[in-house]
């Protein structure tokens, strides 16, 4: 496997195997900015304890992409959470760069990427804020099913290979890194609005009935919009709900 060629703002830490690139990135981030600057990118070929959102396991055999980026943005913790939408946009655009034509790629709220209606990639954003100011660090983890995908997921999954895409995890990482840099620059210059709009253009389900699985309930309603913080707005029979965490499903017709 060749080493990725990345823009010079990234500092690559390349590992054969690790528990979780998010955990490793957090350990490195805690060493401080001099040791682990903004742009440190932990990439592993395999994870033994990969984690997904909401405490789920992330299946991590060799062949897929597992990486986590340490960021030190000079913005509030609330604003830093917008980075997960930037990552979703960058992943979507990366799939446009490395993928084959004639396939459907969509962003699914909050930050999954679907390929031909199945989940091909997920994003896990974690942050630590010790004082009252900006976060000390943000860790943005990406998992992309390149070679294989798990069979036992609540939302059906797929991989590049299953869809006959030949791109490797290195191709995908390189494309992601370039797109992430340009989307981050746009966000720093113009704020969240262009990110929100571009995410919506690339998303699935807006204007349609969706189900949202929350911790203790399932809501059904029309996905009307994203608000100015990235929360999903759902029009239900009982009125509008603003959702900040949950899993979206599409009811079968
Ligand atoms: C999700 O959709 O639930 C998010 C999945 C995030 C998985 C990636 S793989 C690299 C990084 N390390 C982890 O343990 N998780 C993230």
pLDDT for res 133: 85
CA dist., res. 242 & res. 111, Å (int): 16
Helix (H, G, I), strand (E, B) or coil at 50: coil
Q: Find the 55 Cα to ligand 1 centroid distance in Å.
A: 10
pLDDT more than 70, % of the chain = 100
Model pLDDT for residues 76-114, shown as the tens digit of each residue: 999 999 999 999 999 999 999 999 999 999 999 999 999
Q: What is the mean pLDDT of the chain?
A: 96
pLDDT for res 252: 81
Which pair of tokens denotes residue 44? Answer: 């592993």
Q: Find the 112 Cα to ligand 1 centroid distance in Å.
A: 11
E-only strand ranges, the chain? 11-18, 40-47, 65-71, 105-108, 112-115, 118-128, 137-144, 209-213, 218-226, 232-236, 239-243, 247-249
pLDDT for res 123: 98
Model pLDDT for residues 123-150, shown as the tens digit of each residue: 999 999 988 789 999 999 999 999 999 9
Q: Find the 238 Cα to ligand 1 centroid distance in Å.
A: 34
Over residues 1-26, mean pLDDT: 97
CA dist., res. 195 & res. 87, Å (int): 10
pLDDT for res 131: 82
Ligand 1 pocket test: pick from 66, 111, 112, 140 the residue with the most ligand atoms within 8 Å of its Cβ: 66
Model pLDDT for residues 28-84, shown as the tens digit of each residue: 999 999 999 999 999 999 999 999 999 999 999 999 999 999 999 999 999 999 999
Domains of the chain: 11-201 (3.30.930.10), 209-249 (2.30.30.100)
The response to whether residue 110 sits with its C-beta less than 6 Å from ligand 1 reads: no
Q: Find the 253 Cα to ligand 1 centroid distance in Å.
A: 30
pLDDT for res 22: 98
pLDDT for res 159: 98
CA dist., res. 6 & res. 19, Å (int): 24
Is residue 61 within 8 Å of 151, Cβ to Cβ?
Answer: no
What is the length of the chain?
Answer: 253
Which pair of tokens denotes residue 51? Answer: 């984690």
Q: Tell which atom from ligand 1 comes closest to the C-alpha of 52.
A: 3
Question: Which residues are paired to 106 by β-bridges?
Answer: 114
Going by pLDDT thresholds of 50, 70 and 90, the confidence category of residue 1 is confident
Q: Which of 48-73 are b and which e, b meaning 16 or more Cβ less than 10 Å from the residue's Cβ?
A: eebbbbeeeebbbeebbbbbbbbbbb
Which pair of tokens denotes residue 32? Answer: 């401080």
The response to whether residue 20 sits with its C-beta less than 6 Å from ligand 1 reads: yes
Would the pLDDT of 163 be above 80? yes
Residue that has been written with the tokens 């029979």 in this structure: 237
Over residues 177-195, mean pLDDT: 97
pLDDT for res 30: 96
Over residues 179-199, mean pLDDT: 97
């Amino acid at each position: 496997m060749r080493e990725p060629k990345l823009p010079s703002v990234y500092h690559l830490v390349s590992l054969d195997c690790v528990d979780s690139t998010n955990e490793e990135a957090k350990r490195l981030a805690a060493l401080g900015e001099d040791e682990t600057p903004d742009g440190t990118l932990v990439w592993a070929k395999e994870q033994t304890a990969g984690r997904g959102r909401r405490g789920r396991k992330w299946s991590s055999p060799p062949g897929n992409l597992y990486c986590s980026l340490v960021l030190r943005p000079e913005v509030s913790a609330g604003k830093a959470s917008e980075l997960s939408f930037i990552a979703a946009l960058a992943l979507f655009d990366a799939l446009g760069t490395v993928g084959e034509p004639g396939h459907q790629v969509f962003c699914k709220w909050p930050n999954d990427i679907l390929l031909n209606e199945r989940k091909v990639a997920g994003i896990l954003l974690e942050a630590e804020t010790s004082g009252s100011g900006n976060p000390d660090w943000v860790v943005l983890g990406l998992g992309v099913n390149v070679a294989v995908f798990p069979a036992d997921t609540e939302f059906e999954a797929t991989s590049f290979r299953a869809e006959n895409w030949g791109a490797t995890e290195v191709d995908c990482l390189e494309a992601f890194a370039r797109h992430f840099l340009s989307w981050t620059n746009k966000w720093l210059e113009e704020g969240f609005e262009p990110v929100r709009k571009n995410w919506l253009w690339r998303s699935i389900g807006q204007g349609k009935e969706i189900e949202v699985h929350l911790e203790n309930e399932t809501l059904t309603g029309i996905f009307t919009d994203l608000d100015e913080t990235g929360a999903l707005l759902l029009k239900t029979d009982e009125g509008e709900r603003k959702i900040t965490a949950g899993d979206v499903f599409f009811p079968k017709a």
